[in-house]
Structure 1
Amino acid sequence: MSQGYSAGFISGSEHLYRYEIKQVLMLLDQGLDKKQIKEKAFQENFFRQKSHQANIVLLRKVFKRVDQLDEGLRRLVQNGISADVNAILLYAYLKCYRFFREFIYEVVVYLHEQGQRRVTQSDIVDFFERKEEQSPKIRNFTPETKQKMRQVMLKACNEAEYIIPGETEWEIRPVPISGELRDYVREHPEHRMLVEISLTGEW
């Protein structure tokens, strides 16, 4: 079943969830299941949310990201180099949201393959216009929603040190993933997107 478009990633303070994912992985390693982790989060509020409902929403999003990762990738998130962690967290994010994933492939990856090293305002506008033509759902999003989508995607890319904001453009920076992660992807080709989005050559 194909994944539909969603603007769900703009809600709240959506980002890579670096701290939150590492905390959940640590608790899973300690033998806690999802229900127990939820109870612990509610009781101790170690994610520092303002309400019970905010904790529920956050944990739902974090578990959704964690579920995209197998044991090998989870281990690298906990113990790998910074570049590997950035790539894996961005990968988990993209797996959850089709629109963001298509932005990365159709704008960032495409431009890099064409030898360009900058994302311009025009590139982003063209992408949104193309998606509006392809999807009535995207076409019906409000201007405010589309602006928020743009902001959240660029913020996440910056957090992953993937594209860096300048005055009017964004610099594309390949993620220098380790040989260990690259070898892991070769052994588990279902994760080839990890190397593709890293912009560091064939997987």
Structure 2
Amino acid sequence: MSTARNYVSTLKAHSFLFQELKNLCILHLKGLTEQQLKLAIIQENLFQTGSLRRRKELGTVVLKRMYVLDAFLIGRLVNGDIETGKMIALYSIMKTDALFLDFMVEMIADKLSIMDLDLNDQDFVIFFERKQQQNQVVRNWSKSTLHKLAQVYIRILVESGLLRNKNDDRELIRPIIDPDVKDYLAKFDIVYMIW
């Protein structure tokens, strides 16, 4: 991937947020405006978070993820099976976080394509070292930041159903996704390779 990518490490504070995205999409399908959605997040505490600051932060992230989805994908996330919904939520993260997208394409899709289903710590080291060589922003991140990102990536993959994590043995699982959604994504994006 390009060295000029706009990489950020903010994903380490946000994780998968599947239920939050689904709840927001349900309200969106009911016709709520962006302003009404923001009010539901902040005033009604839609995401059930403690602080106002965290509500605003999550609201920004989840709204951004929702807005990269079109009506078809929002409808399938809300009304389809849970596995497909989780893959659509994963897709929304890939569409809003360039580094995570690169990880999914360069590491996960590659592993799935050759049926290498083990995901170990060294895979993260290799990925982040490659990114540090390619990108000044990533090069300046601390080891702690990279470690936190790796942990969040693992958690996202587990919560999405793409990874089984038992006693530090991690096994990738090829997801089951609605064929209509799979075909739909194949027409528009490179990330369909993961499925």
Could you tell me the TM-score, scaled by structure 2's length? 0.91
Gaps of 5+ in 1: 199-203
> Hey, what's the Cα distance between the residues in 2 that align with 1:17 and 1:159?
9
Contact 1:107 1:119 in 2 (8 A): no
* 1:127 aligned partner, one-letter code: F
- 2:188 corresponds, among 165, 187, 190, to 190
> Hey, what's the Cα distance between the residues in 2 that align with 1:142 and 1:192?
30
Residue in 2 aligned with 1:85? 85
* 1:190 aligned partner, one-letter code: F
With over 3 angstroms needed to count, the CA separation of the structure-2 counterparts of 1:110 and 1:91, relative to structure 1, is same
Residue in 2 aligned with 1:56? 56
> Hey, what's the Cα distance between the residues in 2 that align with 1:111 and 1:185?
20
Residue in 2 aligned with 1:150? 150
> Hey, what's the Cα distance between the residues in 2 that align with 1:108 and 1:169?
16
> Hey, what's the Cα distance between the residues in 2 that align with 1:88 and 1:197?
12
Residue in 2 aligned with 1:201? none
Residue in 1 aligned with 2:171? 171
* 2:194 aligned partner, one-letter code: I
> Hey, what's the Cα distance between the residues in 2 that align with 1:168 and 1:26?
36
* 2:70 aligned partner, one-letter code: D
Report deviation, 1:8. Answer: 1.1
* 1:156 aligned partner, one-letter code: I
With over 3 angstroms needed to count, the CA separation of the structure-2 counterparts of 1:36 and 1:168, relative to structure 1, is closer
> Hey, what's the Cα distance between the residues in 2 that align with 1:71 and 1:87?
16
> Hey, what's the Cα distance between the residues in 2 that align with 1:180 and 1:120?
32
Report deviation, 1:87. Answer: 1.0
Aligned ranges 1:64-143 → 2 under 5 Å: 64-143=64-143
2:11 aligned with 1:9, yes or no?
yes
> Hey, what's the Cα distance between the residues in 2 that align with 1:6 and 1:171?
27
> Hey, what's the Cα distance between the residues in 2 that align with 1:142 and 1:48?
32
> Hey, what's the Cα distance between the residues in 2 that align with 1:81 and 1:142?
39
Report deviation, 1:66. Answer: 0.3
The one-character-per-residue Cα deviations of 1:19-44 (angstroms, maximum 9, x if unpaired) are 21122112122221111121233222
The one-character-per-residue Cα deviations of 1:138-188 (angstroms, maximum 9, x if unpaired) are 1110111111101101100000110211334310111111222234335xx
* 2:188 aligned partner, one-letter code: E
Q: What is the percentage of aligned positions where both structures have the same residue?
A: 26
RMSD over equivalenced CA pairs, Å: 1.6
